[in-house]
Every structure is written in C-alpha cells, then in structure tokens.
C-alpha cells in the first residue's frame, strides 16, 4: 500500500517524538518516501539527524530557511504530499490547526496542503480530556481530518489514562487501511449531477429552485478521494470544483439532459442529485417583458425526465436517484425507485430543520433495489456523501 507514496510527517514536542522515528523507518521500509517537519519542541526530544538517517530525506525545521531559491518549501511540501501525518500531535498544534494559526514550518504547511490529514494526539490525560482540546479535535474531524485515537496506558508524568501516542505499528496499519480505502473506486467512472437548473423567461428572469449543489459536490469530492474518475454535471452554483473532478457547467434542464446522456454509457456509477426543473416556459422572450396592468400568465410545459431516461437506457451502470420530499417520504421514494428503474434512491425530508436545500447538513433515507433500507441521521453533507458511497461500494461488490 505504501509503494511510491509520498508522506509528510509532522513531529511536535512531546516525549512520544521518539516513536515517530520508528514510524518513519516502518513507512520508508514499506516503500514510502517520508519527509519530516519538526517543530522546535520536537527537537528538544529527538534530533533531526535521527529522521534524516532513517528516511534518507532532508528534515524541515524553519519556514524561513529556504532550501532552494526557486521554490517556497512549505508550499512545495504541501503540494507534494499524498498524505500528511502529525504524530505526535500536541494540544498546541491541534489548537493551531483548528483555528487557522500558521506561525512555524509545520502549521504553515498544514494549512497549505490539500492532502488527506491524519492527526495522532499525544498528551497528558487531563489535557486530552480538556474541553478545548476535545472541541478542537471535533472541529478537525468535521473538516475531514482523520483522528488516530491515543492509547490508554502509563504516561510520562506517572498518570495512567488516555493520552499515549498510538504505537508506530498501529499508526502504520491505520495509514495502510486509509490508502486501501482511497483506492476502492480506482478505475471506476462516476457521473454525478448537482445543483439547480434555470429556465429562461426573458433576459432578466427565470424559474429555478433553492438547490445549492452542496450535496452533489460533496459526493463528487468523496468519489474522487476514493480513486474514481469523476465527471460532475453542474447547474449554476457558487461552489469550487472539487480536486481531481472534471466539471461540466450547464444551465437549463435540457442542457443537463443532453450532458448526462452524452456521458452516461461508459459509466460505472451514476448519481443524479441535481434538482432539475420539472417545468419550463412554453414561450421565452429575447427582450425584457415590460410591466403591464393586471395579471401575467406564463404557460409551462414539462421538461424531459432525465432520471427516467437514464433508467430506460441502463446497462452496467449502478443508478442512484435523489428525491426531495415533504411528506410520506418512504412511499414516494419506493415508488420512484421502481418507476424509474433505479438501483437505489436517496430521500430527504426537506421540511426538517437542517436538512435539504442550502444547508451544510442533511438527513437522508437510502433505499436500494435489493431491499436494503438505511437512515443516515443529521450530519454534514460530506459525511453523508462518504457513507452513501460506501453503501454503493458494498452493493456493487468492490472489495
């Protein structure tokens, strides 16, 4: 799992820093290239030479001591990493990273990287239990950091409790499992639609809905992190394109229909999470409609049903639909699952607080053609995306 992997290891000032030398050795022997960043505190416990000797790589100590005039070293390291591990992670570095503080080589590189981040806390049991530390760890976890839990045992100052750095072998195995998970969709093609559509009335007016695209973008990001080749068909949203995702922008329901069908046939997994308009104006205007006395009537016609068409043309694809409902959500969801020849449907009750359009959280029911039903309680859309993809992975039989 580690062959040719590039790992940045941040080492902070705790007695457990000596374990980081053993971790560096194990990762290097397994085929990884490990570049170590040491804080000033870490250097009070272990020398940079120890890490250099086992990693055969330079050790980074100071933000302002640039190795090369052609590169900014903390940016270069941040971009280089396939994974970023902090072990041991003191309360200090956890607090810095949770609050966006960048005042040394390690903290600046952490804030600059887009690599997956793994935090292995190590500290006194009372420090670890402090509400500030726990709040910071919760913040980091919600942002997608993986927390490698400390062990319970004898601590340096004589206490017995939770706070010991996980053993190097345990951290090694945790990282190996993480790399394995990140390759679960390697070689698979995933097509996702996201966001609203806009149906033109005239040059200044249109019909649309409240979809922000956040759920679809979270799914695209999560699929890419699992190694998939992701194509994202996006309606008009104010969101950045996730890393390693091919994005195609559309505006209307018809444009989304054409884009989805054009990319559909060679896909392995297709998730239609976009909130596509069901109706559009029969007549549109090239000039702005002027205000007139009395009422204005606009005749509407049905747009083409993208999900139903995808169901008709389904071959090898695992097809997932989304349904936003306000009542009888399971009944409507199961009917849609059958009617549109889906493999799974994700239903959310948009009348619930914190769920549905525009929020950063959601609560959903997943129902599959095989009869599996799963409720995912209110949590972040990123967490829901990860859970949904792992359900799909089980359904399609990926090891």
Catalytic residue numbers read 209
Determine the Cα–Cα distance for residues 29 and 185; give it in Å rounded to an integer: 27
- Contact predicate 171/211, CB 8 Å: no
Q: What secondary structure letter does DSSP report for 124?
A: -
- Contact predicate 233/260, CB 8 Å: yes
Q: How many CB atoms lie within 10 A of CB 138?
A: 12
Q: Any bridge partners for residue 246, and if so which?
A: 231
Q: Minimal CA–CA distance to 346: which of 366, 372, 363?
A: 366
Provide the CB-side half-sphere exposure for 396 (13 A, CA): 20
User: Can you read off the two tokens belonging to residue 318?
Assistant: 């695992």
Determine the Cα–Cα distance for residues 171 and 11; give it in Å rounded to an integer: 14
Q: What residues contact 68, with CB distance under 8 A and at least 6 apart?
A: none
Backbone φ/ψ region at 258: left (φ over 0), alpha (ψ -120 to 50), beta: alpha
- The helix/strand/coil state of 190 is strand
Determine the Cα–Cα distance for residues 222 and 249; give it in Å rounded to an integer: 19
- The helix/strand/coil state of 383 is helix
DSSP assignment of 346-385: EEEETTSTT-STT-SEEEEEEEETTS-EEEEEEEEHHHHH
Q: What residues contact 141, with CB distance under 8 A and at least 6 apart?
A: 147
* Helix, strand and coil percent figures for the chain, each rounded to 5: 35, 25, 40
Can you give the length of the chain in residues?
399
Q: What secondary structure letter does DSSP report for 364?
A: E
């Amino acid at each position: 799992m580690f062959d040719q992997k590039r790992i940045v290891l941040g080492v902070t000032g705790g007695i457990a820093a000596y374990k980081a030398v053993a971790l560096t050795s194990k990762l290097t022997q397994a085929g990884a290239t490990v570049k170590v960043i040491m804080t000033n505190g870490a250097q009070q416990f272990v020398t940079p030479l120890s890490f250099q000797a086992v990693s055969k790589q330079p050790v980074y100590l100071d933000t302002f001591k640039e190795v090369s005039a052609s590169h900014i070293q903390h940016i270069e390291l941040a971009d280089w990493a396939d994974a970023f591990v902090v072990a041991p992670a003191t309360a200090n570095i956890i607090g810095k990273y949770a609050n966006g503080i960048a005042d040394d080589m390690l903290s600046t590189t952490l804030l600059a990287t887009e690599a997956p981040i793994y935090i292995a806390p190590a500290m006194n049991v009372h420090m670890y239990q402090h509400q500030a530390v726990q709040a910071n760890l919760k913040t980091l976890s919600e942002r997608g950091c993986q927390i490698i839990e400390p062990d319970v045992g004898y601590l340096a100052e004589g206490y017995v409790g939770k706070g010991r750095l996980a053993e190097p072998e345990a951290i090694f195995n945790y990282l190996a499992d993480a790399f394995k998970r990140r390759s679960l969709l390697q070689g698979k093609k995933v097509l996702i639609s996201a966001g609203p559509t806009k149906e033109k009335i005239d040059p200044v007016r249109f019909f649309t809905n409240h979809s922000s695209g956040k759920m679809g973008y979270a799914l695209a990001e999560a699929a890419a992190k699992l190694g998939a080749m992701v194509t994202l068909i996006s309606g008009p949203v104010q969101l950045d394109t996730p890393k390693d995702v091919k994005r195609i922008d559309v505006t209307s329901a018809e444009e989304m229909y054409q884009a989805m069908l054009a990319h559909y046939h060679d896909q392995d997994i297709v998730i239609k999470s976009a909130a596509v308009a069901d109706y559009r104006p029969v007549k549109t205007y090239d000039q702005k409609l002027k205000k007139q006395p009395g009422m204005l009537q606009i005749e509407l016609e049905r747009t083409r049903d993208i999900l139903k068409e995808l169901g008709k043309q389904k071959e090898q694809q695992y097809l997932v639909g989304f349904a936003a409902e306000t009542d009888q959500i399971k009944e409507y969801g199961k009917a849609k699952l059958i009617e549109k020849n889906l493999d799974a449907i994700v239903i959310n009750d948009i009348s619930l607080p914190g769920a549905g359009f525009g929020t950063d959280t959601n609560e959903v029911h997943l129902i599959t053609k095989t009869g599996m039903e799963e409720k995912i309680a209110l949590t972040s859309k990123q967490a829901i995306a990860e859970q949904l993809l792992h359900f799909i992975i089980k359904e399609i039989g990926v090891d």
